[in-house]
Structure 1
Amino acid sequence: MGLFTVAEAKAELARLRPILDEIVVVRADMVELASGIPTELGGVPERKAAEARLNELMTAVQETGAELKGVAPLLVDFPADLDGVPVLLCWLEGDAELAWYHRADLGFAGRRRLP
């Protein structure tokens, strides 16, 4: 997969939002099912189904060329280039839009607002 422009990454994030929203729900279900505490969600078969669904959803994100860096909280990076510098356009669960980036060599701690 190649690099994203900022516009392409924003469009891809918009397309991925239903998948990302479902990951949040399935993640919560899976944690509840794995807690060992009785739940109306079910038991081992339902937990295995939730794990399988979560894997499918995570694969769907990664097949776009985006990088799923975290699941709790969700962190999705889109490889890009800003003024000749390799960067990752960065969306964190709870962000209203794709508005952040960090240099590829600095990681999340170097996160800055997009110009």
Structure 2
Amino acid sequence: MPGTANRSGLPAAGAICPKTRPNKAGRGPLEEERLYSLKEARALLPATVRRLEQIAELRGQMRAWGSAAEGMAPAEGDAPGLDELLASMNARLRELSDDGILVRDLRSGIIDFPGRDADGPLCWCFRLGEPDILYWHRPDEGFAGRKPVAEDC
């Protein structure tokens, strides 16, 4: 978004800061989804970025595996290398899901941390390669509706 970031790469002073409600303790299989404050989402970001980077690496390995196997006759049984790659990727995706993180686009590394403010549900939006969680949006607005988070948020 033009005009929304300052020299530090953070959103400009005109950005807004939705006031989130504290998360309810715990989350069981039948309870509501995990809701994050901006502070909670940012605390989880380093581990989340590592997982996204691992997923990107695994996707690259799968593409390379597919290119190498292209044109070859199908072998007996399943391809052992591909099985391990898929299992590793599924494990990383499951870890993100277990944390309540919503994967929106694997190719771009776009994820959302669900949250809530006085006006209803929101998503703290992050894209792999960004330095921090700098944007948020309402669930029905998606990535195109991202709004900058205020620096003092």
Shared fold (TM-score greater than 0.5)?
yes
Q: 2:108 aligns with which of 73, 87, 90?
A: 73
Map Cα deviations across residues 24-63 of structure 1 (whole Å, 9 max, x no partner): 111110111122359xxxxx31122111110110101110
Structure 2 spans left out of the alignment, 5+ residues: 1-32, 72-78
TM-score, with length taken from structure 2: 0.66
Q: 1:4 aligns with which of 36, 44, 58?
A: 36
Report the more deviating stretch, 59-68 or 10-19: 10-19
Read off the aligned partner of 2:131 and give its amino acid letter.
A
Q: Which has the higher helix share?
A: 1
Partner of 2:96: 61
Identity %: 25
Partner of 2:121: 86
Report the more deviating stretch, 98-107 or 75-84: 75-84
Read off the aligned partner of 1:45 and give its amino acid letter.
P
Q: 1:51 aligns with which of 86, 93, 98?
A: 86
Q: 2:138 aligns with which of 87, 98, 103?
A: 103
TM-score, with length taken from structure 1: 0.85
Runs of 4+ with deviation above 4 angstroms: none
- Name the count of aligned residue pairs: 111
Larger Rg: 2
Structure 1 spans left out of the alignment, 5+ residues: 39-43
SS across alignment from 2:57: helix
Partner of 2:53: 21
SS across alignment from 1:76: strand
For 1:50 and 1:87, the matched residues in 2 are separated by: 33
